[in-house]
Structure 1
Amino acid sequence: MSVLTRDEAQTRAQLLDVHHYTVDLDLTTGDETFESTSLIRFTARAAGDTFVELKPETLHSAVLDGEPLDTAALHDNRLPLTLTEGEHTLRVSTTMRYSRTGEGMHRFTDPTDGEAYVYTQLFMEDVQRVFAAFDQPDLKAVFEVSVTAPEGWTVLANGITEQQPDGRWTAAPTPLLSTYFVCVAAGPWHSVRTEHAGLPFGIHCRRSLAPHLDADADEILDVTRACYDRYHEKFDEPYPFDSYDQAFVPEFNAGAMENPGLVTFRDEFVFRSAVTDTERMTRAMVIAHEMAHMWFGDLVTLRWWDDIWLNESFAEYMGFQTINEACADRFADTWIDFGVTRKSWGSEADQRPSTHPVAPDPDAVPDTASALLNFDGISYAKGASALRQLVAWMGEEDFLAGINIHFKRHKFGNATLADFIDNLAAATDRDVHGWAEQWLRTTGIDTLTPRLDGEGKQWRLTVDRDGSRPHRIRVGVYDHDPAGELIPRERTGADVPQEAPIALDGPRPALVVLNEGDLTYAKMRFDDVSEETALRSLSRIPDALTRAVVWNALRDMVRDGELEPAAYLETALAHLGEETELAIVQGVLGFARTQITDRYVSEADRPAALATLTALTRDLLRRTEDGDSPGLRLTAVRTFIDSATTPAKIASWLEDGTVHGGPELDPELRWRILARLAVLGATDEAAIAAELDRDPSATGQEGAARCRAALPTPEAKKAAWSAMFDSDDLSNYLFTATAQGFWQPEQSELTRPYVARFYPAATALADRRGPAIAEAAGRWAFPSYAIDADSLALGEHHLTHDAMLPALHRKLTDQLDDLRRALRVRG
């Protein structure tokens, strides 16, 4: 399939003005394909040649202004058009194939009850898998969509839908939309509907998940209403669409997608097992994130994909900030979770060879394939961190004033980075253009280190900067009291680079924390005294967000080889048992379990590392026996299971159906235990099959695939490998589950022969199945635990000499860089 270049898009945008699409879909023609007809009305500003994109199973006909076109001219998903100046009508009739990879029109059959569901995901360039279109973001048009669906189905779309007397479903005409925002979701949905601010609101899921959605419906709708009201306080432009539906759909590749009026979410957000308040907060943040897109992304859309950060960074920032404001009575400070989980996603991406500016130069994004590679932690988390720093620097009032200028000037149109910066500049005296050049057009992350000079009670603090960006930070200075607690002496704002050192009255501080409040994007280091204090007294820091900043600094020091992994684990053992903020506990345990114990310590040191982690989780389990902290206990139980080196304890939990002292095992915990038992060789196919009989849901199918792939036998590995790479039968989710089970640190000798097989197998798979599976293969099926020089050399050879899909190449570039880092940390 060819990719659209930026030059081609600019040329076509100069030639065409697209007015209206009438799209008719027939979903009643079988399980493999559907019928699609699109009628496009557009104007050519001059005579010229162009093309329309489509990727059909069969192209039945194409008629331009009443004249049939040669269907054999379709090549590489493009149908050429020769146009005269003036008005034109193009009608294209096709048979399209359903997807099993989450791209285009994805079809899913629920194993629980046999019901089928379909939904579209048309981001970037997948609209052509559903209907013919001029597929680029700056050719906006009105869309009228009708759908013929099986009896008993409900059809959701961007506008309010109604079923006609002939059985067809029709959606209200949309405002001007980019092609990639068109959305249809059809099936026997379970729906909860309400009204807010005069608009219909709805939430929808598969019927088999109905009890779980109903249990959380009030929470989901309360968050939705609170965000809607808060955005109307912030934004002058009212919500621009006729309804607001949220559909939780199966096997979704992303967290969610901001389709105007019909947001689609991965249906893991319909919780069927116990979750922590932090996970509920994450769901709320995603709701807020996608709603922010209704203005920034949907109302005002990027002109070309170099500005994808404009959509995602803004929504990421607004999501966390708005939940912090609108749901403060329900959730703790969201910026703690952002700092511990999301920010590291951006900073780690920014330190790899594949890094790019938040706002790359347009020439660096020459086509849609390269644009897809920038859909990463930099465009989301680093960009959101930059915006948070911008708000701290220019003030929230001026920032929102600039945003509202942006909406007013470009509503229902397209805008660029230059437009955005100009509109911010119109609201402030600050040099926003200079800020943008230093923050948005550069790569990498600065490092800030405190330096203290003086004696007695006269000390001066200098902030040394390794980097080039300006920073506005808050500095916290702490002393020990007689009981050993850390007491804030003073907090002061500082600009970096400094005009002069900060004078500190009093003795040498016990601890200096740069970037209190986590308002900037930089790595933090400590002076020698502060580092010792941090390691010994971290839990004595009174503010949770400051503790998160310190934990992040220690994490970065481990990754950079400046702190022994064992020292991090000992610090966690000493202090995490007293931690009250769940997001911190989850973040620290997650890093310790997935990075330190599995990658950063040698095979010889791994048992000791797991023992430390097990001791830590035992402490947390003892601390939570009274039932007052169910989220903390659940987090400890999960980590204890994942860290078990012997099967007896967790096997007894599975047999009893409960953790001793609680909680009782729900499906998520049962599958988690069974997966760990599979890794340890303490279960078998019969037990997996019995568990699947107990839980035959889609999640159960994934759990069984993960467990079967994790069994430590040559036969199990051979079967899992064949399922992933020798056929194309696995859906995107079943592929991922199988890959997650396949590679295990405990089974390195068993899987060693597959390391060399991975690269040619993944390259061939990506060529056959496309970017979504390519990304999944690079992320989940990569031999992450083969941490040695030979594995690195092998990967570098293939990366240099094999032609591969860009999505796979990018993912392997990142994986090999992480492998290099793991080798350095071990060294």
Structure 2
Amino acid sequence: MPGTNLTRDEATTRAALVDVTSSVIDLDLSEATTDGVETFGSTTTLTFTCRQPGSATFADLVDATVHEITLNGAPLDPATAYADSRIALPDLQAENVLVVKADCRYSNSGEGLHHFVDPADGRVYLYSQFEVPDARRVYTTFEQPDLKAPFTFNVTAPAHWKVVSNATTPEPVPTGATNGRGEEVAVWNFPATKPMSTYITAVVAGEYYEVQDVYEGAHGTIPLGHYCRQSLKDYLERDRAEIVTLTKQGFAFFEDAFGYPYPFGKYDQLYVPEYNMGAMENAGAVTLRDEYLPRSRQPRSFYEFRASVILHEMAHMWFGDLVTMKWWDDLWLNESFAEWACYHAEALATSYDDAWTGFTNARKQTGYRADSLPSTHPIAADNVDLHAVEVNFDMITYAKGAAVLKQLVAWVGLDPFLAGLKQYFHDHAFGNTEFADLLTALEKASGRELSGWAQEWLQTAGTNTLSPAFELAEDGSYASFAINQAAPAEHPTLRRHRVGIGFYNSEPSGSGEGRLVRTDYVEVDVEGARTELPELVGKAQPELLLINDQDLAFAKIRLDERSRETARARLSDLDDSLARALVWSAAWDMTRDAELSATDFVELVLGNIGQETDAWGVSRIPVYAAQAVNLYSDPARRPELAARWEQGLRALLAAADPGTDHQLTFARTYAAAATSEAAVAELEGLLDGSLAFEGLAVDQDLRWTLLTALARVGRADDARIDEELAGDNTISGQEKSAAARAAQPTAEAKERAWTQALLDPSVPNETQRSVVLAFWQPGQEELLTPYVERYLGEVAGTWERLGSHKASVALEFIFPRLLATPATLDAVDAWLEAHADAVNPGALRYVREGRADVARALAAQARDAHRPGAS
């Protein structure tokens, strides 16, 4: 629908014309418990002014049945006024009142107002998700971030429900009526909110379990609500103390760091089902994936990530909610800052004080990958319309943005940086800004000219590579030393970097070599293609030289030959976890860039991951190694490397201390790698209890991991999956069973999964996602080969058939990367040449990204085939 694609120019024109005084939203959710319900009543009263009386504009409303439209007391015919998701508003007055009565649709895609029935107990749960442009699926809006207004929600629902919105929850008032199931109905009349943008409004309603706590801060009392499905309440109670602690630590830290008290009165955190994102920063009513209340044991990295999500959304109360970008070009003003702030707070205010190490091992890698794709874009993207926003909502905005801000903090100093932020929040509270507003505040506070820095880092794309270049004197000291900087040909910008350089050498001990410890450190500014560093001349060459020590810069780094050999032999001896993370990162970057063979990377992992201490390193690095085995290795010798990987994981599992994250991670990874008869038999033994490892609990989620691995090798049919599902009648069980079926190596299973993933829009979003992620399995290449052409044949219609979110999931993750062959590359290239001009830009992006991944894999395979010692 063209009308759903609001352009930046249209938004600018509308904002110049109107100001919104208030929005009153009446929602009738009383029939949501009735079987087969598809719609709900939505009445919007929108009060606004117009600077040019007599002119015209439009309001937004998507996929609705409109019954009445009244503008300034005069009726408008819905048949003519409402078309293409827009309501035409002619002949405006200086002051206007628009009333729209409509029926809107519940969704099963996580967009708009999502409707969910819990299979565990039949209870109904609703929640809204409005970012980027989906408030218009629930009520009539001016759907753009710079038309802020107070919102008043009046929600009619079953009287026994909980109903939560942005304002403090009122006592429900009985209506005296009942719904179609005979349930009493009440209305919740919420007070008006502070001025806010449409995309951060929220309504969450259903039979939620509720608990309350309080934060007593320097600026007053903040009520803290926590909500989840009734079937998850035991898990919420189990984790409540930690969640409350993190929430209180976050408020204390941010109110001080940002110099502005929390602006939205109360703070609810609502764990909701079938959620598309990690969480959403609705003002005062944050929604989060309810997988963050895990039912089975998880490694520390899971809880570290949950902490970062909680703090990220809290940071948004200032970055995004209090001060909001005028248009989505400055989305990074929300996301990059909240991402940096959450890790900054995590490291300084919580028990996860090594958060930046985890950031380097995991999150930052997503930024490096995104920046290497043909879809890369500047952090401050040119979002000309809503379609551009949807495809640029990615890890450039989040991970690269946060890493670049970390470098900016190093560039200007933390105290001046925070001083600029404090002024920014006070100057623009409850308003909208552009990048220039923030830049002015930071320049004033720091005394640094930052427009050049912004041009280099925020308005260009691509990742630089930093490499050491030196000559040695006879005594082994540096006779000369420089850092060379390179850039990809497509994005040739050379930037200024603040980098640390660490010297690591063996620590003497009583018996042979000790730990590798930092013996020297210098911090320098790098600029241009070559930066001479005379301060390093005369220093002895260390056993390991680490450029970008402390991880201040967003740049790939390379190790010199001696450092590479030291890392290969002794990475686990390196005593600093962040330094290890940088070496892991360099090794993985070199593998992806076909500079280090996949085989060598796998051996590096097998030789050192058992001693890794960083939680994210333990859980994420084996994922990279599995990718090296299945995608980047020489196809002719892949079975040999896969066997080495399987056996190495088995040895790591046996050697892991009982009950540790290492043990759990190696068990999961071993299951995913198992192909030999011996390994498959052990998976059966773990599942039936005939094989056990001390400290390893084979709980429900691990059972599904094992069963899915057995399904992948043809040892678990539908009947066996049904049997497991019968004992786990939950939405998680349904999603995991769908994944297990999709993993099966039969034509029938793949056909069913393909339909669920790409052809059937009725499949719920998280079930579809589970199927998509399980579809491509190593060892099934012959069975899956026809799906290269089938994928290409479905691209054109998927966006319209499934909607933007489910289409994005399908087209990105079911792309045939696993079949990284010249034939696949040729087929994709031929399709792009024939169809690139006629396909939705979002869909086209995922094809181009997949094509780039295949080309990268082919280069890595060639490197692995020609590694030293390969026959």
Fold similarity call, TM over 0.5? yes
What is the rounded CA distance, in whole Å, between the counterparts of 1:540 and 1:603 in structure 2? Answer: 33
What is the rounded CA distance, in whole Å, between the counterparts of 1:292 and 1:171 in structure 2? Answer: 25
How many percent identity over aligned positions?
Answer: 40
What is the rounded CA distance, in whole Å, between the counterparts of 1:65 and 1:800 in structure 2? Answer: 53
1:649 corresponds to which of 682, 700, 705: 682
Give 1:712 shift: 1.2
2:365 corresponds to which of 344, 363, 379: 344
2:443 aligns with 425
Unaligned runs of 5+ in 2: 176-185, 488-493, 863-871
Deviation readout 1:457-476 (Å, 9 max, x if unpaired): 54133111114111111110
Please tell me whether the aligned partners of residues 496 and 526 of structure 2 are also in contact (alpha carbons under 8 angstroms). Answer: yes
1:591 aligns with 624
SS across alignment from 1:168: strand
1:638 aligns with 668
1:735 corresponds to which of 762, 768, 791: 768
Please tell me whether the aligned partners of residues 202 and 246 of structure 1 are also in contact (alpha carbons under 8 angstroms). Answer: yes
Q: Kindly indicate whether residue 349 of structure 2 is the aligned counterpart of residue 326 of structure 1.
A: yes
Give 1:230 shift: 0.7
Output the amino acid matched with 2:70.
V
Output the amino acid matched with 2:662.
L
Output the amino acid matched with 1:661.
E
Output the amino acid matched with 1:493.
E
2:818 aligns with 785
1:624 corresponds to which of 644, 653, 656: 656
Give 1:606 shift: 2.6
Q: Kindly indicate whether residue 421 of structure 2 is the aligned counterpart of residue 403 of structure 1.
A: yes
Unaligned runs of 5+ in 1: none
What is the rounded CA distance, in whole Å, between the counterparts of 1:733 and 1:696 in structure 2? Answer: 16
2:209 corresponds to which of 163, 171, 190: 190
1:21 aligns with 23
Please tell me whether the aligned partners of residues 572 and 616 of structure 1 are also in contact (alpha carbons under 8 angstroms). Answer: no
Worse-superposed segment, 37-46 or 812-821: 812-821
2:523 aligns with 493
Give the direction of change, closer, same or farther, for the CA distance of 1:56–1:753 in structure 2 (3 Å limit). Answer: closer
Output the amino acid matched with 1:665.
V
SS across alignment from 1:792: helix
Please tell me whether the aligned partners of residues 64 and 137 of structure 2 are also in contact (alpha carbons under 8 angstroms). Answer: no
Give 1:718 shift: 2.0
Output the amino acid matched with 2:352.
F
Q: Map 1:252-401 onto structure 2 (within 5 A).
A: 252-327=275-350, 330-360=351-381, 364-401=382-419
What is the rounded CA distance, in whole Å, between the counterparts of 1:223 and 1:24 in structure 2? Answer: 35
Give 1:537 shift: 1.7
1:116 corresponds to which of 112, 115, 124: 124
SS across alignment from 1:200: strand
Q: Map 1:106-185 onto structure 2 (within 5 A).
A: 106-162=114-170, 163-166=172-175, 167-185=186-204
What is the rounded CA distance, in whole Å, between the counterparts of 1:230 and 1:719 in structure 2? Answer: 50
Output the amino acid matched with 1:190.
Y
2:49 aligns with 43
What is the rounded CA distance, in whole Å, between the counterparts of 1:438 and 1:254 in structure 2? Answer: 30
Deviation readout 1:377-436 (Å, 9 max, x if unpaired): 100011101100000111100000000111011110000111111110110121212211
What is the rounded CA distance, in whole Å, between the counterparts of 2:384 and 2:690 in structure 1? Answer: 55
Please tell me whether the aligned partners of residues 551 and 582 of structure 2 are also in contact (alpha carbons under 8 angstroms). Answer: yes
Deviation readout 1:508-556 (Å, 9 max, x if unpaired): 3221100111111000001222222221221121111000001100000
What is the rounded CA distance, in whole Å, between the counterparts of 2:605 and 2:16 in structure 1? Answer: 59
Give 1:82 shift: 1.1
Give 1:724 shift: 3.0
Give 1:26 shift: 0.6
Give 1:726 shift: 3.6
1:84 aligns with 92
What is the rounded CA distance, in whole Å, between the counterparts of 2:13 and 2:166 in structure 1? Answer: 29
Worse-superposed segment, 123-132 or 601-610: 601-610
Output the amino acid matched with 1:608.
E
2:7 aligns with 5
Give 1:366 shift: 1.2
What is the rounded CA distance, in whole Å, between the counterparts of 1:341 and 1:381 in structure 2? Answer: 10
1:471 aligns with 497
Output the amino acid matched with 1:461.
F
**What TM-score results when the alignment is normalised by the length of structure 1?**
0.97
1:557 aligns with 590
2:702 corresponds to which of 665, 669, 682: 669
1:612 corresponds to which of 644, 654, 659: 644
Q: Map 1:563-574 onto structure 2 (within 5 A).
A: 563-574=596-607
Give 1:505 shift: 4.1
Q: Kindly indicate whether residue 431 of structure 2 is the aligned counterpart of residue 447 of structure 1.
A: no
What is the rounded CA distance, in whole Å, between the counterparts of 1:245 and 1:83 in structure 2? Answer: 42
Worse-superposed segment, 673-682 or 740-749: 740-749
Give the direction of change, closer, same or farther, for the CA distance of 1:626–1:341 in structure 2 (3 Å limit). Answer: closer
Give 1:161 shift: 1.3
What is the rounded CA distance, in whole Å, between the counterparts of 1:658 and 1:321 in structure 2? Answer: 43
Please tell me whether the aligned partners of residues 56 and 95 of structure 1 are also in contact (alpha carbons under 8 angstroms). Answer: no
Deviation readout 1:66-88 (Å, 9 max, x if unpaired): 10112012111011111334100
Please tell me whether the aligned partners of residues 635 and 861 of structure 2 are also in contact (alpha carbons under 8 angstroms). Answer: no
Output the amino acid matched with 2:59.
V
SS across alignment from 1:17: strand
Please tell me whether the aligned partners of residues 263 and 290 of structure 1 are also in contact (alpha carbons under 8 angstroms). Answer: yes
2:867 aligns with none
Give 1:658 shift: 7.0
Worse-superposed segment, 721-730 or 539-548: 721-730
2:268 corresponds to which of 224, 239, 245: 245
Output the amino acid matched with 2:633.
V
Please tell me whether the aligned partners of residues 56 and 94 of structure 1 are also in contact (alpha carbons under 8 angstroms). Answer: no
What is the rounded CA distance, in whole Å, between the counterparts of 1:77 and 1:519 in structure 2? Answer: 46
What is the rounded CA distance, in whole Å, between the counterparts of 1:408 and 1:575 in structure 2? Answer: 49
Worse-superposed segment, 579-588 or 423-432: 579-588
Deviation readout 1:170-192 (Å, 9 max, x if unpaired): 22211000011110011100112
Please tell me whether the aligned partners of residues 758 and 802 of structure 2 are also in contact (alpha carbons under 8 angstroms). Answer: no
1:34 aligns with 40
Q: Kindly indicate whether residue 108 of structure 2 is the aligned counterpart of residue 100 of structure 1.
A: yes
Worse-superposed segment, 109-118 or 755-764: 755-764
Please tell me whether the aligned partners of residues 657 and 665 of structure 1 are also in contact (alpha carbons under 8 angstroms). Answer: no
SS across alignment from 1:605: helix
Please tell me whether the aligned partners of residues 121 and 183 of structure 1 are also in contact (alpha carbons under 8 angstroms). Answer: yes
What is the rounded CA distance, in whole Å, between the counterparts of 1:194 and 1:136 in structure 2? Answer: 34
Please tell me whether the aligned partners of residues 795 and 816 of structure 1 are also in contact (alpha carbons under 8 angstroms). Answer: yes
**What TM-score results when the alignment is normalised by the length of structure 2?**
0.92
2:454 corresponds to which of 422, 425, 436: 436
Please tell me whether the aligned partners of residues 247 and 263 of structure 1 are also in contact (alpha carbons under 8 angstroms). Answer: yes
Give 1:650 shift: 0.6
Please tell me whether the aligned partners of residues 610 and 662 of structure 2 are also in contact (alpha carbons under 8 angstroms). Answer: no
Output the amino acid matched with 2:675.
T
Give 1:504 shift: 4.5
Give 1:798 shift: 3.0
Output the amino acid matched with 2:252.
D
Q: Kindly indicate whether residue 78 of structure 2 is the aligned counterpart of residue 62 of structure 1.
A: no
